[in-house]
Amino acid sequence: MPIEYVLSKSVPSAIQSIEIIDNALIIKVKEKQLLFICKFIKYSSLLNFKMLLDIWAYDTLKANEKRFIINYMLAAPTKNQRLYIKSNPTIHNGIFKLPSITSLYNSAGYLEREVWDLIGIFFNSHPDLRRIVTDYGFNGFPLRKDYPVTGFKELRYDDKLASLVYEPVKFSQAYRSYTYENPWKPKEFK
């Protein structure tokens, strides 16, 4: 039986849309039904998606509660199939939240920490949600489109103090000289 048929007949109220793009099945799920759908597709004998391969999120630059889209890539090794789940986190008190799926998939622990650290989507009931890529004193989320490209502070090691020092970012152009010549332009022969 095709996966989309099983999903549309078994849990039609939890799924917003089902589409196939380039032979990949993508389902859009309501945020409140995400944990239920993941549990269903993992333990259903017809589907059997037992591996979580990746979680990633991106910023759509919309100024409403559908600003971020989070994607889950799951695999069913016995059937050699992949499934993509999309969902929008809901906003509560200025924080985007989703339920954690670490109770179902062990690999979700690291992947959810990475999404939290870089994008700022909070996962409810995650056992160890803390920064994993940026340093502990970092404020903000670097992959949000509203975050400045250069950051606010830079970190360097000071030999005189023998410790790490945080300073405001500064750019110096003193040692650069521009010739406005194209280095890739072929030279003419005489």
Q: Which domain holds residue 93?
A: 3-138
Q: Is residue 182 part of a domain?
A: no
Q: Is residue 188 part of a domain?
A: no
Task: Name residues whose C-beta falls within 8 Å of residue 171's C-beta, 6 or more positions apart in sequence.
Answer: 150
Per the model's pLDDT, the better-predicted residue between 10 and 181 turns out to be 10
Span 80-114, pLDDT tens digits: 899 999 999 988 888 899 999 999 999 999 999 99
Q: Which two tokens stand for residue 166?
A: 């945080």
Q: Is residue 187 part of a domain?
A: no
pLDDT of residue 29: 94
pLDDT surpassing 90 at residue 188: no
Q: Is residue 126 part of a domain?
A: yes
pLDDT surpassing 80 at residue 78: yes
Q: Is residue 171 part of a domain?
A: no
How many independent structural domains does the chain possess?
A: 1
Per the model's pLDDT, the better-predicted residue between 85 and 190 turns out to be 85
Span 16-67, pLDDT tens digits: 999 988 878 999 999 899 999 999 999 998 899 999 999 999 988 887 778 8
Quick check: pTM over 0.85? no
CATH code assigned at 43: 3.30.460.80
Task: Name residues whose C-beta falls within 8 Å of residue 125's C-beta, 6 or more positions apart in sequence.
Answer: 99, 100, 102, 103
Q: Is residue 180 part of a domain?
A: no
Q: Is residue 79 part of a domain?
A: yes
Q: Is residue 74 part of a domain?
A: yes
Lookup result for tokens 């940026």 = 134
